[in-house]
Structure 1
Amino acid sequence: MKRVCFLLKVRAERLEEYRRRHDAVWPEMLDALRATGWHNYSLFLRGDGLLVGYLETPDFDAALAAMAETDVNARWQAEMAPFFEDLDGRRPDEGMFTLDEVFHLD
């Protein structure tokens, strides 16, 4: 499994609503993530809006591509886009800034 970490920035004025939305992620979205290879997926939100995502997947590009083909992802991304800064017209799943893993303690 490949470990993937990414960053996004949530708008300060939308932090609480963003948290509430993730308290009730659509079951259809959760099913799609699982079916397309997203495992051990977590999101961490800092008080200033820095969002750190972590997941494990055999192939991140394939997992992204498979999600991009689902209707539920298109709807979710459209609803979530206004929460983020600096997307420049991209969907949140297209604006993730991935980090290189430099150390892992197994």
Structure 2
Amino acid sequence: MIKGFKMKLYEGMAEEYERRHNELWPEMIDMIHEHGGKNYSIFLDKETNILFGYIEIEDTELWAKGADTAINRKWWDFMADIMETNPDNSPVAIDLDLLFHLK
């Protein structure tokens, strides 16, 4: 299953966002894989500071359970100062509808 979503960075935070992801914690990588995520990419629209995320997941329920892990919540707290977040520090993420996919 393919999942696409968008999030928003604060102005001037693209380099910091990229740096933090280039140093992604091994525990976070493990959590993503353990919850069925693979082929995860995030793109930036420099004109709007909108991030576009693409991930392949095995199962939506398994993937959703990853949000409640301690490492994921720690990551959200770590990223909250550079992007739009909800009151629990989860990123404001808007799911996108898949309209076309070619294998």
TM-score for both structures, normalised by structure 1: 0.85
Structure 1 runs (4+) deviating above 3 angstroms are: none
The whole-number CA distance in structure 1 between the counterparts of 2:94 and 2:76 is 16
Select which of 88, 93, 98 maps to 2:95: 98
Alignment of 1:60-75 (within 5 A): 60-65=60-65, 67-75=66-74
State the percentage of identical aligned residues: 37
The whole-number CA distance in structure 2 between the counterparts of 1:80 and 1:61 is 24
The whole-number CA distance in structure 2 between the counterparts of 1:11 and 1:31 is 27
CA contact (8 A) 1:29 1:73 kept: yes
Alignment of 1:35-46 (within 5 A): 35-46=34-45
More helix per residue: 1
**How far has the Cα of 1:82 moved from its partner?**
1.8
C-alpha distance after superposition, 1:2-32 (max 9, x if no partner):
1110000111122211111011100111011
Other-structure match for 1:27: 26
Cα distance 1:57–1:13, how it changes in 2: closer, same or farther (>3 A)?
Answer: same
Which sections of structure 1, spanning at least 5 residues, go unmatched? Answer: none
Task: Note the aligned Cα RMSD (angstroms).
Answer: 1.4
